[in-house]
């Protein structure tokens, strides 16, 4: 079964064709990074407008790359929650139009569950039940995953998402947007112990996260406590200072993400661990998860780095299982931010 997937929940316009939930025939992502860069973050109105311009060419490209036309597509899947409402609506309206015009089943997908499905697209079968860590720009969640369609929330962030903290710290360090890859690059020549930064374990027992404290600690370390926006603009750092702060910040975030994932595995007696979401591409996090979990003998399935960020292959892949379970959506289905 060939499913055309559509993803537009945030700032990437993406379409893909996936066969039987596992073979990626095409996977096109049109990034809007250049549009949002000068604002240091995603501007929802700009994202929506760009989705409108991009969605049809991206869909056509996904079909072309797969060497197919619409007649070879068996169903259309789309992210319907969570995300920026205007952005979600562009993908959803497009998917409904395809579904209605071609009389194809419509499948509505949860973006975070699609990120978990990225692990299945690695070709490895995750050991279940698994603790799944999804760390992205909008969310940081731990699930207990019993299968592609079964996820129970164990914990989530009480303030900033992990990726959001990367983006904001990159902004302070003038590393550009998106911040995650830039921090990872800068951190390579830095000392992770150069700056003492707080680790928000919260109550040791909870599986919730908090990243606003470490973000603020970086801001104070770089600019002092009463810095204005102008001070931030005027600041000039040496490359070594930037590298050391980036490495120390990355270490603080990775330590908590991996530590809480291990705690979740211990508490639930899970058989395996899954990593997904944009921050899941971070190599320090990938390595730390493996080293935290190997003493427990738990297999870790890492979403391939190129499928960690937003894409529609994960949407079309998960949709195969929803369709098989009879969970198609009516044309009246609504987007939920
Ligand atoms: O999953 P995603 O593409 O979009 C959302 O659903 O939010 O995640 C985007 C986030 C951004 O905050 C970006 O800075 C972060 O993932 N990210 C990274 C890396 N690559 C992307 N964070 C840390 N290290 C990376 N290599
Ligand atoms: Zn995402």
- Same-domain check for residues 110 and 166: no
What CATH number is associated with residue 142? 3.30.420.40
Give residue 105's domain range.
2-116+309-324
Task: Compute the distance from residue 49 Cα to the ligand 2 centre, in Å.
Answer: 19
Residue 169, domain member (yes or no): yes
CA atoms within 13 A on the CB side of 320: 23
Sign of CA dihedral 324, 325, 326, 330: negative
143 close to ligand 1 (CB < 6 Angstrom)? no
Atom nearest to 9 CA in ligand 1: 6
pTM above 0.75, yes or no: yes
Residues 224 and 239 in one domain: yes
Assess if residue 333 is contained within a domain.
Answer: no
Helices (H), the chain: 33-37, 44-66, 85-102, 111-117, 162-172, 179-187, 212-223, 229-234, 239-268, 283-293, 313-324
Assess whether the C-beta atom of 190 lies below 6 angstroms from ligand 1: no
How much is the pLDDT for 204? 80
Using one digit for the tens of pLDDT, what is the confidence trace for 174-208? Answer: 999 899 999 999 999 999 999 999 999 988 889 99
Position 37 scores a pLDDT of 86
pLDDT tens track for 287-299? 999 999 999 999 9
276 and 315 together in one domain: no
Report if residue 332 sits inside a domain. Answer: no
Q: Does 249 lie in the same domain as 207?
A: yes
Same domain for 298 and 320, yes or no, is no
Number of domains making up the chain: 2
Kindly state the percentage of the chain with pLDDT values over 90.
93
Mark whether 320 and 294 lie in a shared domain.
no
Instruction: Give the mean model confidence (pLDDT) for residues 142-171.
Output: 97
CB 136 near ligand 1, within 6 Å: yes
Q: Are residues 169 and 261 in the same domain?
A: yes
Residue 117: partners with Cβ closer than 8 Å, 6 or more residues away: 148, 276, 314, 317, 318
Instruction: Confirm or reject: Cβ of 7 under 6 Å from ligand 1.
Output: no
Whether residue 131 sits in one domain with residue 99:
no
- Quick one: 39 and 136 in the same domain? no
- Per the domain annotation, does 330 fall within a domain? no
Average pLDDT over every residue of 253-261: 98
pLDDT of 26-50, one tens digit each? 999 998 888 988 888 889 999 999 9
């Amino acid at each position: 079964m060939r499913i055309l997937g559509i993803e537009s929940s945030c700032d990437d316009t993406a379409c893909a064709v996936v066969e039987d939930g596992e073979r990626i025939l095409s996977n096109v992502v049109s990034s809007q990074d250049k549009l949002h860069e000068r604002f240091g973050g995603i501007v929802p109105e700009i994202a929506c407008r760009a989705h409108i311009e991009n969605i049809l060419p991206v869909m056509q490209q996904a079909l072309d790359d797969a060497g197919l036309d619409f007649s070879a597509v068996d169903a259309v899947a789309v992210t319907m929650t969570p995300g920026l409402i205007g952005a979600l609506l562009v993908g959803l309206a497009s998917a409904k139009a395809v579904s209605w015009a071609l009389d194809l089943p419509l499948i509505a997908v949860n973006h975070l569950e699609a990120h978990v499905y990225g692990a299945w697209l690695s070709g490895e079968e995750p050991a279940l039940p698994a603790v799944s860590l999804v760390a992205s720009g909008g969310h940081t969640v731990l699930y207990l995953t019993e299968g592609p369609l079964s996820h129970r929330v164990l914990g989530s962030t009480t303030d900033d998402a992990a990726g959001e903290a990367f983006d904001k710290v990159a902004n302070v360090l003038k590393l550009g947007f998106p911040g995650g890859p830039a921090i990872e690059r800068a951190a390579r020549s830095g000392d992770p112990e150069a700056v003492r930064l707080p680790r928000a374990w919260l109550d040791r027992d909870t599986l919730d996260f908090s990243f606003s404290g470490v973000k603020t600690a970086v801001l104070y370390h770089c600019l002092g406590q009463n810095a204005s926006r102008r001070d931030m603009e005027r600041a000039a750092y040496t490359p070594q200072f930037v590298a050391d702060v980036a490495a120390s910040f990355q270490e603080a975030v990775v330590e908590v993400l991996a530590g809480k994932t291990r705690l979740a595995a211990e508490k639930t007696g899970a058989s395996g661990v899954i990593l997904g979401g944009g921050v899941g591409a971070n190599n320090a996090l990938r390595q730390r998860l493996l080293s935290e979990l190997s003493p427990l003998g738990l297999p870790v399935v890492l979403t391939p780095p190129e499928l960690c960020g937003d894409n529609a292959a994960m949407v079309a892949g998960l949709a195969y299982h929803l369709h098989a379970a009879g969970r198609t959506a009516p044309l009246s289905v609504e987007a939920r931010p």
